Amino acid sequence: MDESGAHGDVTRLLKELSGGDRKALESLVPKVYEELRVIAQRHLRNEAEGHTLNATALVHEAYVRIAQLDRIDWQDRAHFFAVASQAIRRVLVDYAVRRNAQKREGGFKRVDLDRIDLNDAPIIDDADLHGVIELNQALERLEALEPRHVRVVECRFFGGMNLEETALALGISKATVKRDWTLARAWLNRELADG
């Protein structure tokens, strides 16, 4: 990805933030906000009626979590969006847990990782919330075996990143991302089918 222009500004601000300049965070917000909203909208575009989490709320919740992180050595824009993907995962899981606790009567469907195009972000609606919880539990088990596979899933599934963006964010090759994504999906689908 080009580190000139707006992308370079984001990297510069992240470096300043790493150096302890909290004012850099204020300048960073408008430079990444729209891209975070696009990611959030991908997740919520087919929301069910009565769905209370909107794209703005998802971005704000994720951003609050990122802002609360202490002393991260931000590498660049790609690193920021990898961390943002983890934050989005946590917000969606927390939301799903709260909604699931409210509903308790079922009617949920599993998150089907096979339906995700390798170059497209998923759609998560209210009916997927129980699946998000199950997916998170499976990811926690996978973390113990293959932590990098979990980072790939976070970037691809929760961050809406394509292969190239994921490779850049994680500092690995596109071929490695594709292989890890395929293996992670197979492992997770097997785990979720057995659950």
Look at the block and give the residue holding tokens 């972000």: 121
Over residues 121-176, the pLDDT tens digits come to 444 455 556 677 788 889 999 999 999 999 999 998 888 888 999 999 899 999 99
Q: Assess contact for 136 and 89: CB atoms under 8 A.
A: yes
Over residues 43-55, the pLDDT tens digits come to 776 555 555 778 8
Over residues 163-173, the pLDDT tens digits come to 999 999 899 99
What DSSP character marks residue 160?
Answer: -
Over residues 172-193, the pLDDT tens digits come to 999 999 999 999 999 988 888 8
Q: What angle do CA 101, 194, 49 make, to 5 degrees?
A: 35
Of the CA atoms within 13 Å of residue 89, those in its CB half-sphere come to 23
Indicate the number of domains in the chain.
Answer: 1
Core vs surface per residue 140-172: b (16+ CB within 10 A) or e: eebeeeeeebbbbbbbbbbbbbbbebbbbbbeb
Which residue range is the domain that position 16 belongs to? 5-194
Over residues 56-97, the pLDDT tens digits come to 888 888 888 888 887 788 888 888 988 988 888 888 888 878
If one counts every other C-beta atom within 10 angstroms of the C-beta of residue 31, the result is 17
If one counts every other C-beta atom within 10 angstroms of the C-beta of residue 110, the result is 16
**Separation of alpha carbons 86 and 47, rounded Å:** 21
CA torsion 121-122-124-125 (nearest 10°) is: 100
Closest to 160 (Cα-Cα) out of 105, 89, 112 = 89
